[in-house]
């Protein structure tokens, strides 16, 4: 069910409790459950009709991390594309021009807007593409993606700073400036309160006009192989806008 709107102060957002980080090992069991359930999921999922879908990986991950989800969406009728930009570790603003070109090419090739599905940082990038180029994007689905709180919203905040070479102040300044331009396409945000990497409160979007939130149970690294996510995404892709 969609999450109801609830104001969350940025000062309330803290990294997930270390105990939740220890529970990230659930990914093994989550993947096993998914593999057992996939035949039924494919059978009952709402089917696509060749609509273009691009799936973006999370921080320090590449297209291999989204293989299960992409193969699943392809099997139920979508034209599915990886991002093909290697490991997701560059500063976000450096990635956006490359992503814009990819999405523009996909939209031109298919003659229709592209649906963007992003896991963690991939969802953050998907939102920014939609913010800048709403004429190219049909909708955005984020999975465990923080939209506020910056590096303080994640247990890997220091790694993000070291990898991108950006300070929390620099990141906050960029995002505060970008928030002045609203996202004008529908956004559907999936999150887990037992996420051990990203604070769930950071995933609650209070700015986008057409936003719905959906809670699932599971680890952060397991969201790409989470049965509830695989049930939700086809329904959200099929949802009329």
**Alpha-carbon span 231 to 217, nearest angstrom:** 13
Domain count, the chain: 1
Range of the domain at 166: 10-39+48-236
The number of C-alpha atoms within 13 Å of 133 and in the hemisphere containing its C-beta is 20
On whether residue 195 sits in a domain, the answer given is: yes
Contact between 145 and 90 (Cβ < 8 Å)? no
On whether residue 241 sits in a domain, the answer given is: no
Q: What is the CATH number of the domain that holds 214?
A: 3.40.50.1820
Report whether pLDDT(230) > 60: yes
User: pLDDT at position 241, please?
Assistant: 56
On whether residue 4 sits in a domain, the answer given is: no
DSSP of 15-45: PPPHHHHHGGGGHHHHHHHHHHHHHHHHHHS
Q: Give CA separation, 53 vs 3, 77, 139, 211, in Å.
A: 24, 10, 10, 19
**Alpha-carbon span 109 to 230, nearest angstrom:** 27
As a whole number, the mean pLDDT across the chain is 90
pLDDT tens, 32-68? Answer: 999 999 999 999 999 999 999 999 999 999 999 999 9
Q: Is 178 exposed, middle or buried (0-12, 13-18, 19+ CB in 10 A)?
A: middle
Burial 43-80 (b: 16+ CB within 10 A, else e): eebeebeebbbbbbbbbebbbebbebbbebbeebbbbb
On whether residue 5 sits in a domain, the answer given is: no
On whether residue 1 sits in a domain, the answer given is: no
On whether residue 2 sits in a domain, the answer given is: no
Structure tokens, 136: 């190219």
Among residues 73, 78, 68, 70, the alpha carbon closest in space to that of 36 is found at 68
On whether residue 88 sits in a domain, the answer given is: yes
Where residue 4 falls among pLDDT bands split at 50, 70, 90? very low
């Amino acid at each position: 069910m969609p999450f109801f709107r609830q104001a969350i102060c940025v000062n309330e957002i803290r990294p997930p409790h270390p105990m939740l980080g220890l529970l990230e090992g659930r990914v093994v069991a989550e993947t096993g459950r998914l593999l057992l359930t996939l035949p039924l999921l494919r059978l009952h999922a709402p089917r696509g009709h060749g609509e273009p879908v691009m799936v973006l990986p999370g921080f320090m991950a590449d297209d291999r991390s989204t293989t299960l989800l992409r193969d699943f969406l392809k099997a139920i009728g979508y034209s599915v594309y990886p991002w093909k930009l290697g490991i997701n570790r560059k500063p976000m603003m450096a990635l956006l021009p490359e992503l814009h070109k990819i999405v523009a090419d996909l939209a031109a090739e298919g003659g229709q807007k592209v649906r963007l599905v992003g896991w963690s940082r991939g969802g953050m990038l998907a939102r920014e593409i939609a913010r800048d180029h709403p004429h190219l994007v049909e909708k955005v689905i984020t999975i465990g993606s923080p939209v506020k709180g910056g590096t303080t919203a994640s247990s890997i905040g220091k790694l993000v700073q070291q990898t991108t070479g950006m300070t929390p102040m620099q990141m906050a300044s960029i995002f505060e400036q970008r928030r002045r331009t609203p996202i004008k396409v529908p956004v559907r945000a999936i999150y887990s309160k037992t996420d051990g990497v990203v604070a769930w409160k950071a995933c609650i979007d209070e700015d986008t006009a057409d936003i719905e939130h959906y809670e699932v149970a599971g680890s952060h690294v397991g969201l790409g192989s989470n049965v509830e996510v695989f049930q939700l995404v086809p329904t959200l892709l099929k949802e009329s806008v």
